[in-house]
Structure formats: C-alpha cells, structure tokens
Amino acid sequence: MTALIFAAAALAPATATAQTAPASLESDKWQFTATLYGYLPDLKATLNSSRASADVDIPFHDLLDHLKMGFMGAFDAHNGRWGMFTDVLYMDLGGGNTQVRNFSIDNTPATTSTDRSLDLKAWVWTAAGEYRVVSEPKWTVDLLAGARMLYLKAKIDYTITAPLGRTQGNTQASGTLWDGIVGVKGRYAFGDNREWFVPFYLDVGTGETKLTWQGSAGIGYSFRWGDVFATWRYLDWNGKSGKTVENLTLNGPMLGAEFHW
C-alpha cells in the first residue's frame, strides 16, 4: 500500500526519565514518584494486515492536529535498595490525506483521487523491578529487569474516485507484542545545591520482537515539590516478519514533571 503520512503522539514508557531523588537505604522507608509527561516523537512504522502492508511516517510537528485522546503517566516506588516502576500510556489518533492525479485520455482531461484515513489506537505498558547499586548525594543508579508490552490497532479506510466509478474499502490490523527487558537508569545531580540533574536510561530486550531497545538522556531541575525535566528519547522495535508491527521507531523530545513523597 502506498506510504501514508499522518501525525500522532507516540508513547513510550515515561520511566525513561522518572527518577526518584536519592533514596535512603533504610529498609522500612518507602519513597514514591509519580510522573506526568508529554512525548512528541517522529514515528516510523511498517504495519501488516491480512490484505496488505503500510508504511507510516508521522512527523512530530503534526501531532496535535491528529491526537484525539491520550494519557501518559508513570509510578516509581523504592524501599531501601529494592524498587519497582510501572508506566501506562494510551493514545487514540486519527488523520487522513487526499491524493489527486490529473491525466488525459484521447486529449480529454480526467482526474482520479484517493482519499485515505487512519484510525490508530495504542497501549504501551512497561513494568520492572529495580535494584539500586549506587545511592549517593550526586548519583543514583538502578539496575532493572522486567517487560514491555506494545498493543496497536489500526484501521485504514480508502476511497478511489476515477472516471469509471468509485471504489471503497478498508484494511485493519491489530496485535500485541511482549518483550523482556533489562537495563539501567539513574541521575547525576550537580550545581551549588544539586538542584540540576542529568537523567539517563537505557534498556534492551527481546521476545516477540527480534530486538527492542530504548535510550534517553537530558536535563532536569529540582524544586521542593518535585522535578521538571526535558529529555531526548529513542525507542525502537525490530519486529519479526509477518507480525502486525514489523518495525517501529520513535525519536523525539519529551517534557515532564515528577512529584515525590
């Protein structure tokens, strides 16, 4: 199928930047972080259905025009060296385009047009356990192991109008991918009162994809109530042939706020 161009919010785990402040290693003291964020990446994907495949190219600057509904949030909990995080993301996107071609038949002008619309719903859920290997005023570093789930449901409607008539149809695809992941996340604090910090995250995994990985880094600032941050994130699924999601890449900036208690 001809490549489609739409705009969307592509969501990936917020925990790539959701770092709690340096935690005490007292085993009886829980510390929590809730994160709200916005992710505006370029999205490139190859999707397969029983009828056809489609290449989707979604530039981040068209995001708000096609985002119908979305939610991005994460939660992190630590008790001593042990902890866990979870991230749930939902998006509902819609968009379309029209292609017109003019030509002539026996010197008689003629026109064909193709109208396409895409409805895309997606869930991304990440959950993992953590073990803190470094807990210092300037540094926190956690090792993590868990799973990432990607669910996509796409419907493409098309109408082809030609001099001899009109053809309408649609193609649908849906699927769920589960992958185990391992990685590291943390933050480095600096400044007179260590109010500035650099969050970082890296994971890699496999399962129902050949390989999936994620990396991010950026800058943040701490307040009494929590933190604000800006990062750049790259997230990639290298799928297996025949899967609904054959390949998916997200690449772009993310802004968010963290609340600690």
Query: How far is 169 from 181, CA to CA, in rounded Å?
Result: 39
What is the pLDDT tens value at each position of the chain, 261 positions in all?
333 333 333 333 444 444 444 444 555 789 999 999 998 888 788 877 666 667 777 787 776 777 788 888 899 999 999 999 998 888 787 765 555 566 565 566 656 666 666 777 888 899 999 999 999 989 999 999 999 999 888 777 666 666 666 676 667 777 889 999 999 999 999 988 889 999 999 999 999 999 999 999 999 999 988 999 999 999 999 987 777 778 888 888 999 999 999
**Would you list the DSSP string of 75-87?**
EEEEETTEEEEEE
Residues whose CB falls within 8 Å of the CB of residue 178, separated by 6 or more in sequence, listed in order = 147, 148, 149, 207, 208
In angstroms, the CA 19 to CA 31 distance is: 11
On the CB side of 179, how many CA atoms lie within 13 Å of its CA?
25
Burial pattern 134-162, b for ≥16 Cβ within 10 A else e, equals: ebeeeebbbbbebebbbbbbbbbebeebe
Cα–Cα nearest to 13, from 76, 100, 104, 96: 76
Q: What are 30's strand-pairing partners?
A: 79
Count of positions (residues) in the chain: 261
Of 257, 225, 34, 220, nearest to 140 by C-alpha is: 220
pTM greater than 0.85 (yes/no): no
| 183 touches 200 (CB < 8 A) | no
* pLDDT computed for residue 7 by the predictor: 32
Predicted pLDDT at 165: 62
Domains of the chain: 4-91+123-150+181-260 (2.40.160)
DSSP string, the chain: ---EE--------GGGT--PPPPP--TT-EEEEEEEEEE--EEEEEEE-SS-EEEEEE-GGGHHHHEEEEEEEEEEEEETTEEEEEEEEEEEEEEEEEEEEEEEETTEEEEEEEEEEEEEEEEEEEEEEEEEEEE-SSEEEEEEEEEEEEEEEEEEEEEEEETTEEEEEEEEEEEEEEEEEEEEEEEEEESTTS-EEEEEEEEEEEESEEEEEEEEEEEEEE-SSEEEEEEEEEEEEEEPTTSSEEEEEEEEEEEEEEEE-
**Are 196 and 190 contacting, i.e. CB atoms less than 8 angstroms apart?**
yes
